[in-house]
A and B are shown apart, each in its own frame.
Chain A
Amino acid sequence: MTDWPILSLVTFLPTLGAAFILLFIRGDAADVAQRSRATALWVSLSTFLVSLLLWVDFDTTTASFQYVQKIAWIPSLGISYHMGVDGISMLFVILSTFLTPICVLASWQSVQTRVKEYMVAFLVLETLMVGMFCALDFVLFYVFFEAVLIPMFLIIGIWGGANRVYAAFKFFLYTLAGSVLMLIALLTIYFEADSSDIPTLLHHSFDPDLQRWLWLAFFASFAVKVPMWPVHTWLPDAHVEAPTAGSVILAGVLLKMGAYGFLRFSVPMLPFATEFFTPLIYTLSIIAVIYTSLVALAQEDMKKLIAYSSVAHMGFVTIGIFTLTQQGLQGALFQMLSHGIIASALFLCVGVVYDRLHSREIARYGGLVHRMPVYAAMFMVFMLGSVGLPGTSGFVGEFLILVGVFQVNSWVAMLATTGIILGAAYMLYLYRRVIFGKLTKDDLKNMLDLSPREIAVMAPLIVVTLWMGIYPAPFLAVMDASVANLISEHKTAMEAIKAVSLAAR
């Protein structure tokens, strides 16, 4: 364990890079663009390398927070700058730092306007994402959690597609509604427990009645972020209008914030309410899995299809979290990572053809395999990951979740398992229409296969997809202790509540 503040370094290194770009990169437009890109790439790559140290030194035997750093921030209110990671959050930090350089590289050519600002936005976004996963003070958390929306909002609103204003606005409206309620909940917690320190709050027991209200307030915010049915409709629009790299971050990291929130706040702090509302979560998640899979089947726009598939996959995650079993929770965490990789990769795949033809309409394509065999092969790997084929990361997460939920409720397990049939249906159908078939359309006949840069973007994602599928043990080991602790704390808390209610009688 090191003494230097590695988490702060990982968090703020990208901001330093952004500041550097803003302050020092001047000159003529093309030059600025090129140097901004290069700087952003190097900064994000080094951030990623530094963040890997987190994993190297990570102690998998303990559930407590590691690399902790605590500095008084607003002493009068007891609010501090408190950072730290545990087995639940650590891999998400790495996921964020892993995806950012990929995003920078993926935007190398597709973004040509305001390149400097674009790169700055991404680096700032990285800081905010990483900070959100590391924050151990809920005021700090709330700042990061909400601030993430700003660069994302800008990325969609400035570099997005034709209908970007509507999408950015819808995105904002949904998330704002949730945020307000969460703020109220956080304030209530603060006045109730007299602390904003998350590790302290994890051991505070709230009154069962209050728990329900707090839970619902958190739910309003997290459910939008996940997104859960029926508050998911912002996602397809946001994805469709976002630039490719924006979609990658949105699917890869931002969608994980909601589920992470459930794991950090709702489940450990509000055990009674969690158990009380579990049927609600199951119901909404199953609807999400089946409903959005069917909707995905009918889509005509590639990005929308993948966006809907994200909702279905995240439905599995919420089911897994609320099983409160070792397999279910680890599966949910694993599925979040896996989806972060695979959905990102699928959006990159769409981006590749979008850059060439400027259309996302499925019917515009067909027979791409003839001209783009490498692309077809890579797309195939990610498609199979999305379908949850054993040997890819998608399988491990999905299957662990199902194993977990079967122990709790076989109805939920059965209905959720239908997702593996429907998931295969819409993905294979998509692949068939885009990649297979005869090459008949003229403008497709001179499409170029992947460039070396594009291969460099995709290759790491393939490696991780297969690695997580064939040898997921290192990932699962990181989560193990924290998840086990979460479950045992939950059990203790529930017993305490039962004891109190018995005594009250």
Chain B
Amino acid sequence: MYALAVFLPLIAAIIAGLGGRWLKDSGAQFVTCGALLASAAISIYMLFDVAVGGNPQTVELFTWISSGTFEVTWALRFDQLTAVMMFVVTVVSAMVHVYSIGYMHHDPSIPRFMAYLSLFTFFMLMLVTSDNFVQMFFGWEGVGLCSYFLIGFWYDRPAANDAAIKAFLVNRVGDFGFALGIMGVFFLYQAVSFDEVFAATPELSKATIHFLGAEYHALTVLCILLFIGAMGKSAQLGLHTWLPDAMEGPTPVSALIHAATMVTAGVFMVARLSPMFEYSPIALSLVVVVGASTAFFAATIGLCQNDIKRVIAYSTCSQLGYMFFACGVSAYSAGIFHLTTHAFFKALLFLGAGSVIHAMSGEQDMRKMGGLWRLIPLTYTMMWVGSLALAGLPFFAGFYSKDMILESAFAAHTGLGTYAFWLGIAAAIMTAFYSWRLLIMTFHGSSRADEKTLAHVHESPKSMTIPLLVLALGAIFSGFVGFDYFVGEHMAEFWGKSIFVMEGNNVIEAAHHVPFWVKALTIIVVLGGIGLAYAMYMGAPNSPARFVAAIRPVYLFVYNKWYFDELYDRIFVRPAFYLGRGLWKEGDGALIDGLGPDGVTAVVRNLARRASALQTGYVYHYAFAMLIGVAGMVTWYLYGQTG
């Protein structure tokens, strides 16, 4: 039955995708939403059976690739970690499917959209249920593909096409590492299934590998390579540039793929591979550094974005950083806990933002909003719930999970743990600040929209508001309900063997006993951030502009996203085209062809021309040539005689 939960979305995608013309819009919506709701129902049951009930299982399908000792099967692994991920993916996806009915109702290609969404869900489920590295890679690339389809869904728009290609290519850079990692895993273990690899890891914990001309600790190399894949998918520092641009896609896509599910695949990967990462302190340190730095860096950019979706996108990037540094300090369960709560409140925020955009007839710039709260009160309330959960105020979901992460980082008592803790605190202030900046700019003050748009503002239809309410329930309660299971007293039974933490790395236990000031600090900084946002944007609406003017260079640096795009354009994109053209015209054209076929032809033709030049047709020329010939022969003969 659990396999059905995975394949229902695929079947729905095929039906809606190929049969869209006959099914019409409503048929496609019915098929895909129905399949997803059924899949979500099965997943909820599974969460209780597999995770709470402790009943992991694996379903083998058939052989995929078999070449010598390289054996890969299609198999679905339903363990505790998978159950949690499936729950998150199917529930959020089902809500997004329903929401899309309302959000996309003006669009001319609804069946295609619904098919893509369902197909994405299928690949995501394949990713989280994978039983081996290669199948994980299948899901991994598959979600990337659907992300590409959906970002570029409005293929008329050049910006959407650019963003789609960028997303695919930046992800491919990450996948470059992932693929090499898989090759390395096979090289070291002669196996690629998780069970075999994890079982052999303790023996191989000291093994070395010869990689790129030097000998290294094998697990460190492998984990770092695999982590590069995770960085790409989860938009971590350096490979993050695609995520903000991905907001060119329709908003439900941003909620599902670029907030709740796909981008968290990297975190899932690290947690899934915890039996390997645990044996490589260096790789874990890298995870901490990258995660914490991203949390901080993305939050700074979030401070000064004006596009409502981009603010939330950078916030996602930053929150993913939290999840990563949690994993890096061995608090995998805290990372997955945050992944779960984040999926609800971030999807809520995105869909709320979608509701705002829907109300504003497609406007996304917060500078042209303001004063909307009276007009769309339900959306306004939902955005509040989402923001409270994101900021992590007490008793909302984010409070439990984010505090757990910060406390774990603190309790790790390592240099890097402390680094992560303080950057996390700094990011928490900024998170609170930009969340309330968003709320205030969008909903409060006087409206900056034009008359026509304003007259058209309306609350969204039920198909959009009901999913918001469901997600809001998750954003409020998932932390409170999940705490005991994910990171609290039932933790050990809940996770079973799906997450591995080495003796002595159990920071979650230590995190329950951090000093009181740590727990208090996290709440105080959030309140401070909110207060600051109120003071600046409500109290003195001119102050942001003055402040920006005062620190203009810093502001520009942050506003331009630390110039990553410009840098990459200079060092990768343009040189690639430049080189390509150069190699084509000069390398192939001038050099190879010039010396090769064209050169040979030229030489032959040249010789032929000279030879033909001899044939002038004048008798005395020929006579002269003959005479020289005869003279030459006689001379040679005479020399022969004497010599």
Contacts and interface: CB of A to CB of B under 8 A. Distances in A.
A204 interface: no
Nearest to A231: B596
Given A399-B134, A399-B179, A331 B67 contact: yes
Contact of A403 (B165, B186, B577): B186
A411 B211 CA distance: 8
A463 interface: no
Contacts of A390: 134, 137-138, 141-142
Interface in A336-352: none
Q: Chain A at the B interface: mostly helix, strand, loop or mixed? A: helix
Contact of B70 (A174, A327, A367): A327
B597 A471 contact: no
B630 interface: no
A18 to B, nearest CB: 31
A291 B582 CA distance: 10
A296 B577 CA distance: 10
B184 interface: yes
Interface stretch (B45-53, B295-303, B425-433, B583-591): B583-591
Contacts of B148: 428
A170 to B, nearest CB: 5
A325 B176 CA distance: 22
A396 interface: yes
Contacts of A406: 180, 183-184, 186-187
Contacts of B202: none
Given A411-B212, A417-B176, A400 B70 contact: yes
Interface in B530-577: 576-577
A112 B48 CA distance: 67
A1 interface: no
A470 B10 CA distance: 14
A230 B592 contact: yes
B156 interface: yes
Interface residues of B, number: 55
Interface in A361-414: 367, 369, 384, 389-391, 395-396, 399-400, 402-403, 406-407, 410-411, 413-414
A20 interface: no
Contacts of A291: 583, 587
Contacts of B186: 403, 406-407
Interface in A398-445: 399-400, 402-403, 406-407, 410-411, 413-414, 417-418, 420-422, 424-425, 428-429, 432, 435-438
Given A406-B186, A410-B212, A294 B583 contact: yes
Given A413-B180, A473-B63, A174 B583 contact: no
Given A399-B179, A414-B212, A437-B158, A298 B577 contact: yes
Contact of A396 (B62, B65, B69, B212): B65
Contacts of A399: 65, 134, 179
A428 B169 contact: yes
A432 B161 contact: yes
A231 B152 CA distance: 38
Contacts of A282: none
Contacts of A389: 141-142, 145
Contacts of B173: 421
Contact of A299 (B164, B212, B584): B584
B64 interface: yes
Contact of B68 (A295, A326, A436, A438): A326
A422 B587 CA distance: 18
B175 interface: yes
B176 A432 contact: no
A384 B65 contact: no
A327 B63 CA distance: 16
Q: Chain B at the A interface: mostly helix, strand, loop or mixed? A: helix
Contact of B210 (A174, A236, A410, A435): A410
Nearest to A230: B592
Contacts of B577: 297-298
A47 interface: no
A121 interface: no
A326 B63 CA distance: 17
B213 interface: yes
A472 B165 contact: no
Given A327-B70, A476-B67, A484-B68, A417 B580 contact: no
A472 B184 CA distance: 23
By CB atoms of chain B within 10 A, which of A384, A421, A470 has the most?
A421
Contacts of B583: 291, 294-295, 298
B176 A421 contact: yes
B631 interface: no
Given A295-B580, A411-B212, A233 B179 contact: no
B597 A173 contact: yes
B581 interface: yes
A325 B68 CA distance: 9
Nearest to B74: A470
B576 A297 contact: yes
B600 A173 contact: yes
A438 B156 contact: yes
B587 to A, nearest CB: 7
A233 B597 contact: yes
A330 interface: yes
Interface string A9-39: 0000000000000000000000000000000
A422 B187 CA distance: 25
B519 to A, nearest CB: 45
B189 interface: no
A42 B514 CA distance: 80
A234 interface: yes
B180 A414 contact: yes
B172 interface: yes
B64 A470 contact: yes
Contacts of A411: 212-213
A400 B168 contact: no
Contact of A417 (B142, B152, B169, B179): B179
Contact of B65 (A400, A424, A429): A400
Given A298-B577, A417-B179, A326 B67 contact: yes
B179 A424 contact: no
B622 interface: no
Contact of A391 (B63, B138, B156): B138
B179 A298 contact: no
B637 interface: no
Contacts of B172: 420-421, 424
Given A297-B577, A389-B145, A418 B593 contact: no
B579 interface: yes
Given A421-B172, A436-B155, A471-B64, A403 B580 contact: no
Interface string B65-108: 11111100000000000000000000000000000000000000
By CB atoms of chain A within 10 A, which of B148, B175, B587 has the most?
B587
Interface string B194-219: 00000000000000001111000000
Interface in A428-485: 428-429, 432, 435-438, 470-473, 476-477, 480, 484
A369 B211 contact: no
Contacts of B69: 326
9 A-B pairs closest in CB distance: A326-B68, A298-B580, A406-B183, A390-B138, A294-B580, A297-B580, A436-B155, A298-B581, A295-B584
Interface of B: 62-70, 134, 137-138, 141-142, 145, 148, 152, 155-156, 158, 161, 164-165, 168-169, 172-173, 175-176, 179-180, 182-184, 186-187, 210-213, 576-577, 579-581, 583-584, 587-588, 592-593, 596-597, 600-601
Given A233-B592, A432-B164, 8 more contacts: A231-B596, A294-B583, A297-B577, A390-B137, A399-B134, A399-B179, A406-B184, A413-B180
10 contacts: A170-B597, A295-B580, A296-B580, A400-B65, A403-B183, A407-B187, A410-B211, A411-B212, A413-B180, A473-B62
